[in-house]
Structure 1
Amino acid sequence: MNNLRVKFLVCLICCTVVYLKGYGQQIAESDSTYLLDAVIVEARRLKDYDAGAQVISIDSSTIKNFEAMSLSEMLTQTMPVYVKTYNPGSLATTSFRGMGAGHTAVLWNGFPIQSPMNGQIDFSLLPGSIVDAVNLQLGGEGALWGSGAVGGTVYLENLPKYNSGLQARINQTLGSFGKHFQGYKLTYGKKKLYTSLNVYRDKANNNFTFNNKAKAGSPEEKMQHAAFSEWGVLLENYLKISAYQQFAIRYWHQDTEREIPATLTEGSSSATQDDQFNRLLLSWSGNLNSLDWKLQSGFSLEELLYENDASGIESLSKSKVFIQEAELNWYPLDQLSFQGGVQHQYVSGTVEDYEAGKQIQQRLALLGGVKFNTLFLESRINLRKEFTEFGNAPLVPTFGLELNPWNFLTVSGKIARSYRLPTFNDLYWKPGGNPDLLPESGWSKEVGINSNFNLLNIKNQFQFTIFSNKIDNWILWQPGSTYWYPQNIKQVWARGIETSYSLDKKWKKTSLNITARYHYTKSTNEKHQTEDDSSLGKQLIYTPLHKGNLNFTYNYNDFGITWSQQFTGKTFTTTDNDDSLPAFTTSNLSFQYKVDKKYGYLNLRISANNLFDEDYEIIAWRPMPGRNYQFSLIISPKLNF
């Protein structure tokens, strides 16, 4: 089966290259000498309807620094988002504003990529090399993104670079514990055409040493059975049909093989997990007079094979997602705009542990929005209603407001309802699945200030946000007399503050950036599960109260240095908060040197992670590596002679 897929992939790439080469020649012959602006309406909902929301963008230079790592490592080192990971290369999930792993919506160019079977996304399976832009939208945004956008949204974008000519990029990265990343990217951009081929491979043994705290004297041991190997390809094609229209097709394939190590309390492990997915996305976007539109169709096929020889388990699960959506924006006035859209999803999940083996759902969502802006005020109202076969989701409104009393100050606020539909596992798992589950839903509120000002020719930015998010009908799996089963029995209240400060200073040959962020998140259970429930009012497990990071970047001519430090407060590992993992701080240091000559560009980068060899765990009895190193060589030959 894998050989057939490889052959199909090779044929697809070859056919596309041949087609584009011929078509590109036709375009080159018919193009006039003037340049056309790219039609960019791919992320209209994110960029135009975010009033009142806090959106954090990861800049392109930072993304390039992490192209040999996963998105989980990028978020861990650059953002105060809590990333819960077992080991490097193992399952990694996020917690935004005190919510769970299933409360983060992840969109790839507008296409949701969370698993319909468990409602989560494994961030270790998202390589940094496949994205051009990463935006984090904090807080509930169910009206914009639908089910799962309860704690936050991660929006991944690929962007065309028209008129860029023929370009190549080669990345070779070596690191501790058998780390080896290879990335090859070839792009071609004309006035009306852009195509990109991105092939990557990543592997590591993860045989780091650690102190086994589960044994007397905490002897030093070496991690066993923790290797992983991954390869993938991303093919993008963009075509300007006219000065006002753009057609795009994207195809993403990835294979990952992972060994699952034992915990410190287990003797050994033979478990393995193989993940494979194919994602195809077609979109047509454009604008005419006061209208712009986007039609998009997406398909995703995911397979997960879990094997455990010791227990005799071999489980293969498959999921398919078809999504068709249409979005229309109308701008009758400069200060007023309207948005409308419809989305249809066909979702199927297959695993032998489901009733009847295979389950199918269809979902229909209607969404609309109004935005009004003046010189000092921007406001928006968004609505979404989703219909499903097993029960209708609630009507989801969002109201956002931004006020600019002075040029240097913005005051914002937002009230939003969000929801999460029960997953296939919640509904259909055998035994235990509960088809009578209700969607989780709740209201989130936030208010914040954002100030940008210059002082002594230094750009300063300060942000402060207070938020509150209360979720009802929280789905919780609990033990029964013979098996576990899910119920809507929990109410969770998450509240806290988020603050950040950054400064930028540039001289002729020098630039300096310092960014500090701190999040305080109190997330507690507010509803009795039983009469003697000891979790009432207690902090949710694996949800730290305190999370912060500090990033320092200094560049002089072709030389650069980056220092990043992350702090994670104490995290509780039991619902009664009797047991916990201690707080920890990790530091990372990297040096890079750039050489830009007539015939090519070269970047040398050396990184030291966990510089002070911190001994810590993110998940109980799952040790993390100590000090480790990476060396990257990036070559970009200049092919536009």
Structure 2
Amino acid sequence: MSPALSVVPSLLALALVAHPVAAQVEDVDELDPIVITAARTAQTADEALASVTVVDRAEMDRRQSHTMTDVMRGLPGVDISTNGGLGHNTNIYLRGARPDHTLLLIDGVRIGSASSGFLPWASIPLGLVERVEVVRGPSSSLYGSEAIGGVVQVFTRSGEVGPLRPRLLIGAGSDNRINTQFGVSGGTDTDFGTGWFDAGLGFEQTQGFNVCDGTPDGGGCGVYEFDDDGYRNGNGSLRAGWAFSDRLEIDLNFLRSEGDLEYDGSAFYGNEKRQVLQVLGTRLTAKPLDPWTLTLSAGRSWDDSEIFANGEFINRLDNRRDQLSWQNDIAFAPGQLATIGIDYLRDELSTPTDYDETSRETTGVFGQYLGRLLGQDLQLSLRHDDNEQYGGKTTGDARWGIALENGLRLTAAYGTAFKAPTFNDLYYPGFGNPDLEPETSWSAELGLSGRHVWGEWALNAYQTEVDELIAFDAATYSPMNIDQARIRGLELWATADLSGWLLDGNLTLLDPRNDSEGPNDGNLLPRRAQQTVRLDADRRFGQIDVGATVFVSGRRFDDDENAVRLDGYSLVDLRAAYAFSDALRIEGRIENLFDEDYETAAYFNQPGRTLFLALRYEP
């Protein structure tokens, strides 16, 4: 760890996006994208007091990203571990917090398994995605449980007024990989209002490779199946909306992703999983009065899976999350906005496994002030969640910012957050502990940023302490609130446009420590690299686009005891595209150019050098 870091101190909630996002993005400069997630209301990125990264469709296409792993890898404060290649389990550590300490939303709808807390990153079809917002830091004061490390919100494609616009991508690559995407969008303006829609379909598959280094005696990752582990996925989405007037608007979003994954397993654990991710949401936005915006939303997400061993059914687990939300944004004075609202969430699971309980309900009440006083920016939020299992939990957040000379801005923040125990923690037969309390945290952050003619940059230092972490207790042979963690981090990123080159770079330094009493006290938390660096460079030469990405990750440990070390690694990707016209181009990408052999989880192989070619049509 760098010495410098050691001194650094049924039915939708939360749905706040759809057509208004698309409409407002067009009204701001490219350097000032609209951010929804940081404050549950629209603001430009330079106004947001939270540390935010926005990856839009143009950037995904320029970098030829095809998976959520492509988008997330190397973002400030983000680390990733995967159990193989395309479609395999993926965990994201946001600011060093555990994977289930990140809240994941799709078009405002809460996603993830209520039984295990697992987030289905690999099931999100990137071809249907318009933009991704990553908010770093505690956000429970606006969103409730799970937002200790931050929030990631995925926005699917949305249409706009105009003629029908088709899009098509046909691609193939290494490991017999195929990826096809088709979509169409459009909209109309009539005497009765304005309508828009976007519909998309996609399919991808790969033969894969052997993801697990097992041995005949069960060593390595515990199994021995020396075969390729393939993946297939079919997906589709629909977003549509209608604005009856400037004061009344309604929209609908639906996404379905169905995948079939092969993995190295056993007759007991299975070696094939069929997983279905579905998201359905609707939202009504009204302005009863000029200063008052009322948003009513409802949604449901499904995370269903079936496990097979050599074609024989073993088990199934179906998770369903129903959400309702009522939000009021009141601009009571120029530059002053108050937000108050209520969220309702019901988690329910269905499985042959005999859980002690299979459903629970949570109601959250929240309020926020967002404004400017005496030349200083403030964001103050408070929330109380009431859950029928663990009772009440109150969280708060305070953010402050001030503009300095020469385009500089100083920010500071303090917030608390929590994570509710999962159904497995509470109710799994023979294992669960219904007396568990939520995991809690506090975080403090100090930031300095700059905006200049050549680009912009930001430096953020933070510390997070997490208490009441749930861990297995050998004395009681059940999960208990016995662990603690202390995480310190430093994030530096910059973007620039120099001599026609689009440059983007960031550095993350992380010191994630076990702070619990016992033999692991002071050890590094597993599967988090202490240093990561990413550099991107892209340029256009007439009809030709070229680009490269360099990603460097430091060492990490795979276990709490810090006995299994995973070495650091470096990846180099190259990309190029040729535009036959404004609408048609051919593109190619080489990943892991030097065929680096590395692991982000012990014994699980990662893709070697791969090539992917695609023909893209999008007028």
TM-score normalized with structure 1 length: 0.84
1:197-236 aligned at under 5 Å gives the runs 197-207=199-209, 224-236=227-239
Instruction: Tell whether the 8 Å contact from 1:554 to 1:562 is kept in structure 2 after alignment.
Output: yes
Q: Deviations over 1:536-594 (max 9, x none)?
A: 01111111111121111111222111100111111112322232011001110000112
Q: Whole-Å Cα distance in 2 between the matches of residues 268 and 224 of structure 1? A: 18
Residue aligned with 2:391, SS: coil
Q: Whole-Å Cα distance in 2 between the matches of residues 214 and 142 of structure 1? A: 46
Which residue in 2 is equivalent to 1:94? Answer: 92
Which residue in 2 is equivalent to 1:156? Answer: 154
Residues 534 and 60 of structure 1: CA distance in aligned 2, closer, same or farther (over 3 Å): same
Shift of 1:207: 2.8
Q: Does 1:430 align with 2:429?
A: yes
Instruction: Tell whether the 8 Å contact from 1:142 to 1:150 is kept in structure 2 after alignment.
Output: yes
After superposing the two structures, state which structure 1 stretch, 604-613 or 273-282, moved more.
Answer: 273-282
Which residue in 2 is equivalent to 1:558? Answer: 543
Residues 449 and 501 of structure 1: CA distance in aligned 2, closer, same or farther (over 3 Å): same
Residues 619 and 97 of structure 1: CA distance in aligned 2, closer, same or farther (over 3 Å): same
Q: Does 1:138 align with 2:136?
A: yes
Shift of 1:364: 0.3
Q: Whole-Å Cα distance in 2 between the matches of residues 207 and 268 of structure 1? A: 22
Shift of 1:212: 8.5
Q: Does 1:568 align with 2:549?
A: no
Structure label with greater radius of gyration:
1
Residue aligned with 2:92, SS: strand
Q: Deviations over 1:76-103 (max 9, x none)?
A: 2666621110111200010011111100
Instruction: Tell whether the 8 Å contact from 1:80 to 1:517 is kept in structure 2 after alignment.
Output: no
Shift of 1:460: 2.9
Which residue in 1 is equivalent to 2:586? Answer: 604
Q: Whole-Å Cα distance in 2 between the matches of residues 485 and 631 of structure 1? A: 50
Residues 46 and 590 of structure 1: CA distance in aligned 2, closer, same or farther (over 3 Å): farther
Shift of 1:213: 10
Q: Does 1:57 align with 2:57?
A: no
Residue aligned with 1:395, SS: strand
Which residue in 1 is equivalent to 2:481? Answer: 488
Residues 418 and 211 of structure 1: CA distance in aligned 2, closer, same or farther (over 3 Å): closer
Q: Whole-Å Cα distance in 2 between the matches of residues 462 and 432 of structure 1? A: 48
Instruction: Tell whether the 8 Å contact from 1:394 to 1:441 is kept in structure 2 after alignment.
Output: no
Residue aligned with 1:177, SS: coil
Which residue in 2 is equivalent to 1:632? Answer: 614
Q: Whole-Å Cα distance in 2 between the matches of residues 105 and 229 of structure 1? A: 26
Which residue in 1 is equivalent to 2:13? Answer: none
Q: Whole-Å Cα distance in 2 between the matches of residues 212 and 308 of structure 1? A: 17
| 2:105 maps to which of 92, 97, 107 | 107
Q: Whole-Å Cα distance in 1 between the matches of residues 611 and 558 of structure 2? A: 30
Shift of 1:69: 2.1
Which residue in 2 is equivalent to 1:16? Answer: none
How many residues align? The count is 575
Q: Deviations over 1:135-179 (max 9, x none)?
A: 110111111221111112111123644223200001111010011
Residues 539 and 341 of structure 1: CA distance in aligned 2, closer, same or farther (over 3 Å): same
Instruction: Tell whether the 8 Å contact from 2:267 to 2:309 is kept in structure 1 after alignment.
Output: no
Residues 159 and 175 of structure 1: CA distance in aligned 2, closer, same or farther (over 3 Å): closer
Residues 556 and 293 of structure 1: CA distance in aligned 2, closer, same or farther (over 3 Å): farther
Which residue in 1 is equivalent to 2:10? Answer: none
Q: Whole-Å Cα distance in 2 between the matches of residues 620 and 546 of structure 1? A: 18
The structure whose RCO (Cα within 8 Å, separation 6+) is larger is 2
Q: Deviations over 1:270-324 (max 9, x none)?
A: 61111013321000113341111211000122311112359x8711111121111
Which letter does structure 2 place at the counterpart of 1:307?
A: F
Q: Deviations over 1:43-88 (max 9, x none)?
A: 5615449843100111321223577722123212666621110111
Residues 570 and 514 of structure 1: CA distance in aligned 2, closer, same or farther (over 3 Å): same
Which letter does structure 1 place at the counterpart of 2:495?
A: S
Which residue in 2 is equivalent to 1:346? Answer: 346
Residue aligned with 1:362, SS: strand
Residues 478 and 314 of structure 1: CA distance in aligned 2, closer, same or farther (over 3 Å): farther
Percent identical among aligned pairs is 18
Q: Whole-Å Cα distance in 2 between the matches of residues 494 and 396 of structure 1? A: 19
Shift of 1:492: 0.7
Q: Does 1:369 align with 2:403?
A: no
Q: Deviations over 1:85-134 (max 9, x none)?
A: 01112000100111111001111121111221112312111121121111
Q: Which structure 2 residue ranges, 5 or more long, are not aligned?
A: 1-25, 29-33
TM-score normalized with structure 2 length: 0.87
Q: Whole-Å Cα distance in 2 between the matches of residues 84 and 286 of structure 1? A: 42
1:275-354 aligned at under 5 Å gives the runs 275-287=275-287, 288-309=289-310, 314-354=314-354
Which residue in 1 is equivalent to 2:17? Answer: none
After superposing the two structures, state which structure 1 stretch, 73-82 or 577-586, moved more.
Answer: 73-82
